[in-house]
Amino acid sequence: MIKELHEKLVNQEITSEQLTSDYFGAIEKKDPKIEAYLNLNKEFALGKARAVDKKIKNGEEISLLAGIPCAVKDNMCLEGLPVTAGSKVLENYTAPYDATVIKKLKKEDAVFLGKTNLDEFAMGSSTENSAYQTTKNPRDPSRVPGGSSGGSAAAVAADMCAYALGSDTGGSIRQPASFCGVVGLKPTYGLVSRYGLIAMASSLDQIGPITKTVEDAAIVLTKIAGPDRNDATAVKSADTIYENCLTGEIKNLRIGVPKEYFAEGGLDSEVKNIIEESIKKCEKMGAEIVDVSLPNSDFALATYYIIMPSEVSSNLARFDGIRFGQSIGEEKSEENLVLKDIYFKSRAKYLGKEAKRRIMLGTYALSAGYYDQYYKKAQKVRSLIRKEFEETFRRVDLILGPTAPTLAFKIGEKTENPLEMYLSDIYTVTANIAGIPAISIPAGSARIEGKDLPVGLQLMGKWFDEETLLNCAYAIGKKL
């Protein structure tokens, strides 16, 4: 889709200004119901679009992404524009600089339509934890779009942008992509800079594309990947053109299917059937299906829910009512507060329930006396999970399974039971724990209550082997 839009722009069949206006038209029409966007940048976007049109008229060569309208999850900084991370703490806060991914996309002349909704600080699986609004699933508005990048996934699915950026700490790109029927890629930890992404859990967070097609995901990845002196963990050199790796040929590729991902009990039968169909299709295309076992996956969710909140408790300490965003100290009635009260009262007032829950869990896991029992132990299990992947990837090139155990669930269905909500991430958190790349692609849909609800298939790859991952996803996508 990006390539086609690019061709149309270059051949002057359409202008970027027209394209951008059309997207704003679609947003105006659909977003009052879907609520994917938190804010829009009409003037900024149209200004950029006109500048690209001028370049085209002047016969200048333009980038593949030039003039193509996109959306950005509202936990990434775009200089001069609000960035809320879905939290009241950051209401009225303006980003003082561009995130590295934004800087890179600006260099390509991307057009930013606006910022999309998310669970507060990216903590959640449904966008219901957003302090502002709950995004609806475009396939069935009585259901969640997934989360935390639910706004980005819904915007792509409802054609309210050509592509979007999301962030993924435990599944937040892939699970909403699965629920909305679009493609979501979490790159290898260290492939894309996190500078300017409001941190949730720094050892797990990665930025990645949410797109209509696998080719689009490859195109966007090519542009946002690469080392960054502002993020020491972004290490891989930026010389791969991922879209050029898409041959669609997967003959003799060894695809591992972990038996733990199909265990009775957790997995919906609709999801299971569709994934099993896809496995057969891979076999028909000449891939070798290998039964594998990842027994430590059983501990992945427990490990994630120790490591992630521990890092959350540390990262969110900066929102103290003094350094960033809203402060109780600015209220007239609270004039004589001492510093400690400003901290306590600001955090009590402006942070949401889920953020507080995780800060408390994390603080507990890191506290003297419990550190060894929880945090250190979780880190040990993390090493075991990583090792298990290393060993498995000696036998196979990729691992295939479902992205999420269920179809998109109803709004409100899991809000009272955080544990049930956490189970949404059972197949996705392992990739973050191990740092490997993973992608969710639409594999089919199940008809429920008169609506076609999409099912996502997840492929996980070797560290920094996005080429093989994207190529296999591309091949499966073409066949389905």
The binding site for ligand GLN (CB under 6 A) comprises: 122-125, 148, 168-172, 200, 308, 425
Kindly name the residue from 148, 152, 193, 346 that is annotated as catalytic: 148
Q: Decide whether 162 or 199 has the Cβ nearer to ligand GLN.
A: 199
Q: Which of 386, 1, 408 is nearest to 189 (CA)?
A: 386
Q: Decide whether 170 or 352 has the Cβ nearer to ligand GLN.
A: 170
CB 75, min distance to ligand GLN, A: 9
Round to whole Å and give the CA distance between 430 and 379. Answer: 13
Complete DSSP assignment for 188-218: PTTTB--TTBPPSSTTT-EEEEEESSHHHHH
Round to whole Å and give the CA distance between 135 and 117. Answer: 7
Cβ 393 vs Cβ 464: under 8 Å: no
Report the residue number whose CB is nearest to ligand GLN.
Answer: 172
| 236 catalytically annotated | no
Kindly name the residue from 48, 73, 212, 223 that is annotated as catalytic: 73
CB 26, min distance to ligand GLN, A: 27
CB 169, min distance to ligand GLN, A: 4
Q: Decide whether 140 or 425 has the Cβ nearer to ligand GLN.
A: 425
Q: Decide whether 30 or 73 has the Cβ nearer to ligand GLN.
A: 73
| 237 catalytically annotated | no
Q: Which residue has the tokens 């202008």?
A: 15
Q: Which residues contact 318 (CB under 8 A, 6 or more apart)?
A: 324
Round to whole Å and give the CA distance between 73 and 115. Answer: 5
Q: Decide whether 24 or 179 has the Cβ nearer to ligand GLN.
A: 179
Q: Which of 328, 318, 300, 303 is nearest to 355 (CA)?
A: 318
Structure token pair of residue 247: 């041959």
CB 167, min distance to ligand GLN, A: 6
Q: Which of 440, 430, 435 is nearest to 470 (CA)?
A: 440
| 172 catalytically annotated | yes
The number of angstroms, rounded, from the C-alpha of 309 to the middle of its chain's C-alpha atoms is 18
CB 200, min distance to ligand GLN, A: 5
Q: Which residues are catalytic?
A: 73, 148, 172
